[in-house]
Structure 1
Amino acid sequence: MSRPKLLVVDDHSNTRAWLKSFLGHVGYDVLEAGTAEKAISILRQEGASELGAVLLDLKLPDGSGIDLIRPIRDLRPSIAIIIMTAHASVSTAVDAIQKGAFHYIEKPINEDILLETLRRVLPSGGSHLDSRRSESAPPVLLGESPLMLEIRQKINLSASHPVPVLITGESGTGKEVIARMIHDLSPSAREPFVPVNTGAIPKELVSAELFGYERGAFTGAQERKIGWCEVAGRGTLFLDEIGTMEPATQVALLRVIESRSFHRVGGTAEIPFMARIIGATNEALPELIREGRFREDLFYRLNVFEIHVPSLRERSEDIPQLAIHFIEESWSGDEIPAMTFDPEASRLLKVYPWPGNVRELRNAMVSLVIQNATSLSGVKAVTITPPMLPDKIRFSSGNTSADFTDHDGKTHGKSLREGEKSLIRKALIETRGNKSRASEILGISRKALYAKIREYGLGDQ
């Protein structure tokens, strides 16, 4: 069977290179264009008739991706257009769908969401997704602390009982990893695992994204579209950030859970919903219920079995093991040296507050590898010392009685909570209030950063 072909249109060469490498590895042939003009030129070529989809950036140096939809449709009416952008908004999402785009995904691109989207677009998309899953290593939950041992027990219990699971915990703690482990250990492991960020779906597109639509259901619905509920089949529908769901989404989801069925937009056929639902949130849902922002009946439907994931600072004894794992994971050399931390480097890792949790630790270890590439290459064993650690860990570490270097250059004895506040304040000052850059430095999402800013009253930084 021939490999399906895609066209990636993005002005960033590194994005094109990553997509070409990643998609090529899982079974696609990828052409690339850095401008709208180049994309049109490729689509006019003889072999372009074999292209099944276009991954189209919203911002191009010679035009807008939205404006390119119509010319692409005129040249290749059957091609599926998937808009990708870091500038997501309700208006652009609706505009893209209405003008003929098949789907709309945000950067940074989630690999699994991208593959599930291609599975819906291309007849052979599912086979490539399945082969990737079978060849790749299963998700791993590292750590031997009592808290993590308890988590593993709960994962095994929930995997054997197909009831809804609610996973709670701070951003970056690994909630999706746990959801995948439950799926992979369940009897439905060979069925799809479909991750959906419910808070990122514009309310105008909720029904179309979750349930799909029939051709002609609305302006721009040129072909039938299969929704995420249908894609999940008998597998797992993972609903991330459910605390941010719009009220209309909550009502629609509750109806699906209660009736175990749904209709495509514009359709009359009742489609059975057979997937297991796993929800995840970093927000306190009982508090949202009291504020009238989350439905109590939906909460009890989802919270049949709860797994709370501890923050990284609550299981600091696991940090050195995790750090070594992430160093080895990011290693690009021929042979990975044996890694150990000296006592002081280990202490610094353990007392740093890690506001971004496991995600931030991974980013910090990637940074460590890059900054120490010369000393790490060509050796059999390495002992990592404090000077090799990223500056934010060396100079902003502490515990309940330790010192933190604040933005004013002075050292103060601070609590763990105060230390976290100090780190966030320092990042905001260093970036002159640029939230996107500050979130990158801290290793947390922009959404998590905004929540921390509200929590600590740092809005004026």
Structure 2
Amino acid sequence: MKPIWIVDDDPSIRFVLEKALARENLPTRSFTNPREVLDALADVDAGDPARQGPQVLVSDIRMPGGSGLQLLEKVRAQQPGLPVIIMTAYSDLDSAVSAFQRGAFEYLPKPFDLPKAVELIRRAVEESQREEVTDEAQSAAPEMLGQAPAMQDVFRAIGRLSQSQVTVLITGESGSGKELVARALHKHSPVAGGPFVAINTAAIPKDLLESELFGHERGAFTGAQTQRRGRFEQAEGGTLFLDEIGDMPFDLQTRLLRVLSDGHFYRVGGHNAVKAHVRVIAATHQDLEQRVKDGVFREDLFHRLNVIRLRLPALRERKEDVPMLARHFLQQSARQLGVEPKRISAAALERLGAFSFPGNVRQLENICHWLTVMAPAQVIEPKDLPPEVLGAMAPLAPAPAASPVAEVRPALEAGHEAVPSAVPVLPMSPPEAMQWPPAMPAPAAGAVPEAWEQGLEAEAQALLASGRLDVWDVLTRRFESKLILTALASTRGRRIEAAHKLGIGRNTITRKIQELGLE
């Protein structure tokens, strides 16, 4: 990974950030003034590890020999996609606002909380790497692969829509490649020169989603210290891709409908209408007609989105594409890891082709990455395939009557996610013990025995029988503690990411950790 460049004339600030980032295995390079940074940028050589450019730039505002704001402008002109974090004293808040408006990724007030600073820098690194992967994938790899008739129908539809900016609704199972179709629709459209901005509406907590979509004004809520542009403004003149639209909260659906109807919206806390010149493409794995009937999705919004519908086939419906996709993903994984590409035998391909791929193309990609790392030889044979593929081919033995714990274990061993235990009588395997590739989508409700609920019922009965009057509090604390600790384990202690995964706010998880004594 490329280093984090730190620019500050204060050696103590540089020292603290260098040590903190080193503990996170993030390389750094430090500078004392903007001139040194600009000289280093002019000397960047991607082929020389010692002369790599920055992954993220963290700069103070006021330094001898130059302003951080001037440095920001010059760096943004040379590398528009580079995240720049501006450090500032509280007295420089107006300067920070100015920096933000000029394109800074975020600002970091001094004196700063070190864990929060590291978390912010890590978030900027992830954003930078995501942009690099996207750019590399778009330039080096084919847009989409598929020879099956169902995929050829999709390609023809993209071609017919190439001269149109009409709203498109893409449907298909999770992992089937809906975002790839959206990117192809954007690339072959009249707004191809504009930005492509994607947002997964199911992955962002409800209390943050409105601000993410529409932006907010300074002072709109606690912590809103600057004006921030939302995804609609970021996508101006291009395409906004709303993934998993079926999971959008009902009250936000009304705001989205207004934007689609008249092209205007208001930032959170704002009073001036903002005009949106944006093409909207939405995607979902949900049955939106059924969700309309269930009263959780607005019918008028459904009709606004359902102008043109593209259905993306599941991988099991295009089995003839598995060999071509597998070879492509093996080549891609080898490039990413810097190793020699592995070949796959005809017998292994046949075995792979017989797998049902509940996780679709994404699961095949994960399997190929796993094979690149784990297969012992250069030629992949059937015995080298991952456990979920080999296990799916063998008949399942009938499960004997057993305890609740024995009922939960097979679900984990099959690669499915079981519900975390709420009480100690149902121990679960730790997240790191679960196999790679990641677990596939959980089976439909009722497919996994509800052993954890039986255990919860037994524990509740025992506590109630004991005459305790705080059963609710006891079990709630244990449940919340287990849930938060499991989420933190999966994110290696990163609270903001854990909160996002749990669907709660950052302040909520911080408060709960304090209340439950999990510090």
1:427 aligned partner: 415
1:388 aligned partner: 384
2:210 aligned partner: 207
2:82 aligned partner: none
Deviation at 1:137, TM superposition (A): 3.2
CA deviations on 1:170-212 (whole Å, 9 max, x unpaired) are 1111111111011011121110000011123333333322122
Work out whether residues 359 and 443 of structure 1, in 8 Å CA contact, stay in contact via their aligned partners in 2. Answer: no
2:186 aligned partner: 183
Work out whether residues 411 and 417 of structure 2, in 8 Å CA contact, stay in contact via their aligned partners in 1. Answer: no
Three-state SS of the structure 2 residue aligned to 1:310 is coil
- When the two chains are superposed, the root-mean-square deviation of aligned CA atoms in Å is 4.7
Considering fraction of residues, name the structure with more strand.
1
CA deviations on 1:121-144 (whole Å, 9 max, x unpaired) are xxxxxxx999x4798336522121
2:13 aligned partner: none
Letter in 2 for 1:389: L
The reply to whether residue 330 of structure 1 matches residue 325 of structure 2 is no
- Partners of 1:155 and 1:136 in 2: CA distance: 19
Deviation at 1:265, TM superposition (A): 2.8
1:276 aligned partner: 279
Letter in 2 for 1:404: P
Structure 1 residue ranges without an equivalent (≥5): 19-23, 33-38, 53-68, 84-95, 116-127, 377-382, 410-421
- Partners of 1:387 and 1:243 in 2: CA distance: 40
Deviation at 1:16, TM superposition (A): 3.6
Letter in 2 for 1:370: V
CA deviations on 1:60-119 (whole Å, 9 max, x unpaired) are xxxxxxxxx9x9764974276979xxxxxxxxxxxx9xx99x99998995668x65xxxx
Q: Relative to structure 2, which stretch is displaced further, 236-245 or 351-360?
A: 351-360
C-alpha distance 49-223 of structure 1, shift in aligned 2 (>3 A): same
Deviation at 1:5, TM superposition (A): 5.8
Work out whether residues 4 and 27 of structure 2, in 8 Å CA contact, stay in contact via their aligned partners in 1. Answer: no
Letter in 1 for 2:415: A
The reply to whether residue 170 of structure 1 matches residue 173 of structure 2 is yes
Letter in 2 for 1:392: E
Work out whether residues 173 and 311 of structure 1, in 8 Å CA contact, stay in contact via their aligned partners in 2. Answer: yes
C-alpha distance 133-324 of structure 1, shift in aligned 2 (>3 A): closer
C-alpha distance 458-6 of structure 1, shift in aligned 2 (>3 A): farther
C-alpha distance 369-134 of structure 1, shift in aligned 2 (>3 A): closer
Matches within 5 A, 1:395-414: 395-398=390-393, 403-405=394-396
Work out whether residues 214 and 267 of structure 1, in 8 Å CA contact, stay in contact via their aligned partners in 2. Answer: yes
- Partners of 2:190 and 2:417 in 1: CA distance: 50
CA deviations on 1:205-242 (whole Å, 9 max, x unpaired) are 33322122233334433322111111111210000111
C-alpha distance 335-211 of structure 1, shift in aligned 2 (>3 A): closer
Letter in 2 for 1:173: S
- Partners of 2:252 and 2:122 in 1: CA distance: 18
Matches within 5 A, 1:48-447: 49=68, 74=90, 77=93, 78=96, 132=135, 136-137=139-140, 140-332=143-335, 336=340, 339-342=343-346, 344-372=347-375, 375-376=377-378, 383-393=379-389, 395-398=390-393, 403-405=394-396, 426-428=414-416, 433=428, 441=436, 443=438
Deviation at 1:364, TM superposition (A): 0.9
- Partners of 1:105 and 1:249 in 2: CA distance: 29
- Partners of 1:306 and 1:366 in 2: CA distance: 32
Work out whether residues 172 and 358 of structure 1, in 8 Å CA contact, stay in contact via their aligned partners in 2. Answer: yes
Structure ID, larger Rg: 2
Three-state SS of the structure 2 residue aligned to 1:454 is coil
C-alpha distance 336-105 of structure 1, shift in aligned 2 (>3 A): closer
Identity of aligned residues (%): 33
C-alpha distance 310-76 of structure 1, shift in aligned 2 (>3 A): farther
1:413 aligned partner: none
Work out whether residues 240 and 281 of structure 1, in 8 Å CA contact, stay in contact via their aligned partners in 2. Answer: yes
Three-state SS of the structure 2 residue aligned to 1:404 is coil
- Partners of 1:287 and 1:438 in 2: CA distance: 38
- Partners of 2:54 and 2:338 in 1: CA distance: 27
- TM-score, normalised to structure 2, is 0.60
Q: Relative to structure 2, which stretch is displaced further, 74-83 or 140-149?
A: 74-83
Letter in 2 for 1:290: K
- Partners of 1:191 and 1:148 in 2: CA distance: 27
The reply to whether residue 460 of structure 1 matches residue 460 of structure 2 is no
- TM-score, normalised to structure 1, is 0.66
Letter in 1 for 2:311: H
C-alpha distance 325-406 of structure 1, shift in aligned 2 (>3 A): farther
Three-state SS of the structure 2 residue aligned to 1:180 is helix
Letter in 2 for 1:282: H
